[in-house]
């Protein structure tokens, strides 16, 4: 073989490799066009009754659609909707195509009778809506082998075993669960799942511990019955005054404490409110002075003035020289600088407090 022939052959081989690589690359680059019916991925086969119309949804626009037997199934497309009309008994292959995407082929069988309707195993209608508490489950057994899909896994998940579908409620919100025949997604049932938060339970904390210091001041350590984010209401009685914290106010306070942003909380509460009345734990409190980094803020309640000051870095709140500090690791609140009488009153209030806690 001459040198010229060898070079020519090498060139041909090189070009062949290049073209092969390009062809393979182009084939691999084709994307998947997700086609659904009833909001779930289409099965490769659909069975419908003669005269019925079903609609498929494509993942992309400007698709082309072709029916292998137009006399059996007619097909047309508009934007992302493919409409199929079952015209006469028979079978037709419907191809959905678009340049750069893999073809989707669905075999549509047109029957005289409608496919068996999806019901429970006892031939009753499957509920169209179901309410569940977070953490609970709902199980339905169908009259045929099924699959299922959920629109929001963060709210509700699904697990399927043959004819049985188990829905697990995860978090508050709404999700649509679609139950459909395992080989014919045209037979389906949509169920709106509404998940509510777990009902809180009322608990009493552990007894607070009291210790006396060498300076004659007392310290109280109170362990919370749950982490602050799980506490939805606190009820206590300090002396003859009933105090209750719940809802947005409690959330606002616990968030500020755990994030060490109590200074910002107090500042925002009293800003522009001098000589005005604000609500604190359901009580009318008058703002005597706005928050000052060095002096704190003065608030008046029941004829008495209270100086409130916070230290974000230290994680403390001080009221008239008495300091409270939250320890996230131990989930405790420590109160320091109390007199014996104040310690006795505080201990009684803490021990008898009621907490509504999410499970």
* Confidence band of 241 (pLDDT split at 50, 70, 90): confident
Q: Is 97 left (phi over 0), alpha (psi -120 to 50) or beta?
A: beta
pLDDT at 25 over 50: no
For the chain, how big is the Rg over CA atoms in Å?
35
183, 41 contact by CB (below 8 A): no
Nearest to 106 by CA among 45, 33, 39: 45
Which token pair is 224?
């919370």
Instruction: Give pLDDT, residue 186.
Output: 92
pLDDT tens, position by position, 110-129: 999 999 999 999 999 999 99
d(CA 132, CA 25) in angstroms, rounded, equals 49
Q: Can you read off the two tokens belonging to residue 84?
A: 């199929």
* Predicted structure pTM score: 0.58
- Is the confidence at residue 11, as pLDDT, over 80? no
Query: How far lies 292's CA from each of 63, 230, 285, 329, in Å?
Result: 66, 32, 18, 30
Nearest to 36 by CA among 226, 190, 229, 260: 190
Q: Which option is the CATH number for 129-196: 2.40.30.10, 2.60.40.1080, 3.60.15.10, 1.20.1070.10?
A: 2.60.40.1080
Strands 90-97 and 81-86: unpaired
The per-residue b/e assignment along 43-73, b for 16 or more CB within 10 angstroms, e otherwise, is: beebbbebeeebebebbbeebebebebeebb
Residue 225 has pLDDT above 70, yes or no: yes
Name the token pair of 259: 């994030």
**Which band of pLDDT confidence, cut at 50, 70 and 90, is reported for residue 13?**
low
* Separation between Cα atoms, residue 275 and residue 300, nearest integer Å: 10
**pLDDT single digits (tens) 131-154:** 999 999 999 999 999 999 999 999
Q: Among all chains, which residue has been given the structure tokens 């006399």? A: 71
Q: CB neighbours of 320 closer than 8 A, spacing ≥ 6? A: 306, 307
Q: pLDDT tens digit string along 276-288?
A: 999 988 889 999 9
Mean pLDDT of the chain: 90
Residues 6+ away with beta carbon under 8 Å from 242? 235, 236
CA–CA gap between residue 127 and residue 200 (Å, rounded): 27
H or E stretch covering 249: helix 247-258
Res 18: pLDDT: 47
Phi, psi of 228 (to 5 degrees): -50, -35
8 A C-beta contact, residue 298 and residue 306: yes
Q: For the domain with range 36-111, which CATH number is right: 1.10.4160.10, 3.90.950.20, 3.40.50.300, 2.60.40.1080?
A: 2.60.40.1080
65-85 per-position pLDDT tens digit: 999 999 999 999 999 999 999
Residue 22: per-residue pLDDT: 45
Exposure on the CB side of residue 326, measured as CA atoms within 13 A: 21
pLDDT digits (tens, 9 = 90+) for 29-51: 789 999 999 888 887 899 999 99
| Residue ranges of the chain that CATH labels 2.60.40.1080 | 36-111, 129-196
Please report, rounded to a whole number, the percentage of residues in the chain having pLDDT higher than 90.
82
Q: What is the mean pLDDT of residues 89-100?
A: 96
Instruction: State both tokens at 269.
Output: 């509460």
Give 300-315 as a DSSP string. EETTEEEEEEEETTTT
For 2, other C-beta atoms within 10 Å of its C-beta total: 7
Mean pLDDT for 272-298 is 93
pLDDT digits (tens, 9 = 90+) for 306-349: 999 999 999 999 999 999 999 999 999 999 999 999 999 999 99
């Amino acid at each position: 073989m001459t040198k010229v022939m060898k070079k020519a052959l090498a060139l041909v081989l090189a070009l062949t490799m290049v073209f092969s690589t390009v062809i393979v690359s182009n084939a691999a680059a084709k994307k998947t066009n997700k086609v659904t019916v009833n909001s779930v991925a289409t099965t490769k086969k659909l069975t419908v009754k003669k005269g019925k119309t079903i609609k498929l949804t494509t993942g992309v626009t400007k698709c082309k659609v072709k029916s292998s037997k137009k006399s059996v199934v007619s097909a047309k497309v508009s934007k992302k909707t493919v409409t199929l009309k079952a015209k006469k008994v028979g079978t037709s292959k419907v191809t959905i195509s678009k340049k750069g995407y893999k073809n989707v082929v669905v075999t549509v069988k047109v029957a005289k009778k409608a496919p068996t309707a999806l019901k429970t195993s006892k031939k009753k209608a499957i509920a169209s809506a179901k309410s569940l508490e977070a953490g609970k489950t709902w199980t339905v057994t169908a009259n045929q082998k099924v699959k299922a899909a959920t629109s929001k896994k963060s709210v509700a998940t699904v697990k399927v075993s043959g004819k049985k579908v188990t829905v697990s409620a995860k978090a508050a919100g709404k999700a649509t669960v679609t139950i459909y025949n395992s080989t014919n997604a045209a037979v389906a049932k949509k169920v709106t799942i509404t998940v509510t938060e777990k009902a809180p339970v009322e608990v009493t904390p552990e007894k607070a511990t009291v210790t006396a210091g060498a300076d004659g001041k007392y310290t109280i350590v109170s362990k919370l019955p749950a982490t602050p984010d799980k506490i939805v209401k606190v009820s206590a009685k300090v002396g003859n005054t009933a105090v209750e914290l719940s809802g947005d106010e409690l959330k606002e306070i616990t968030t500020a404490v755990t994030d060490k942003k109590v200074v910002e909380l107090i500042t925002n509460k009293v800003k522009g409110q001098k000589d005005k009345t604000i609500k604190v734990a359901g009580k009318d409190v008058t703002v005597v002075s706005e928050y000052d980094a060095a002096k704190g803020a003065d608030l008046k309640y029941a004829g008495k003035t209270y100086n409130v000051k916070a230290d974000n870095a230290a994680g403390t709140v001080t009221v008239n020289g008495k300091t409270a500090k939250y320890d996230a690791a131990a989930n405790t609140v420590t109160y320091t600088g109390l007199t014996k009488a104040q310690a006795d009153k505080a201990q009684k209030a803490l021990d008898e407090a009621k907490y509504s806690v999410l499970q």
